[in-house]
């Protein structure tokens, strides 16, 4: 077996990033705009535990990681609506519904 230099090897993380990005589904339309503004509007900690999953009319559906976050985000809903619409530059989202689902 021929010895390879480390510089000839590609890190597994780089390979996985390429494969995942190729097959990752990116939302389209207004949901794409919401995804782009999400972390800036709601903050990093919330964004790590909640992710927009669908946008129907003026209703945003958001998946959350667990029941604790579901309850907490219900209390923060009005504040999140205001910050998200401010980030979008218009009042696109009038209501948010949370459900436990994949992040």
Indicate whether 13 belongs to any domain. no
Half-sphere exposure of 69 (CA within 13 A, CB side): 19
Give the contacts of 42 (CB within 8 A, at least 6 positions apart): 50, 80, 83, 84
How far apart CA 77 and CA 18 sit, in angstroms, is: 35
Indicate whether 20 belongs to any domain. no
Each residue of 18-76: pLDDT tens digit? Answer: 665 555 555 567 899 999 999 999 999 999 999 999 999 999 999 999 999 999 999 99
Whichever domain contains 41, its CATH number is: 3.30.300.180
Number of domains in the chain: 1
pLDDT at 8: 75
pLDDT at 5: 64
Poorest-pLDDT segment among 8-17, 31-40, 89-98: 8-17
**Domain region containing 40:** 27-100
How far apart CA 79 and CA 81 sit, in angstroms, is: 5
What does the CA dihedral 35, 99, 69, 29 come to, rounded to 10 degrees?
10
The structure tokens 């480390």 sit at 6
């Amino acid at each position: 077996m021929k010895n390879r230099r480390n510089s000839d090897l590609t890190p597994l993380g780089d390979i996985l990033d390429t494969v995942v990005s190729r097959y990752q589904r990116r939302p389209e339309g207004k949901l794409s705009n919401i995804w782009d503004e999400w972390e800036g509007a709601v903050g990093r900690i919330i964004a790590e535990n909640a992710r927009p999953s669908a946008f129907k009319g003026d209703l945003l559906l958001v998946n959350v990681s667990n029941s604790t976050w579901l309850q907490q985000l219900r209390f923060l809903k009005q504040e999140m609506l205001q910050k998200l619409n401010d980030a979008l530059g218009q009042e696109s989202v009038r209501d948010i519904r949370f459900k436990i689902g994949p992040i």
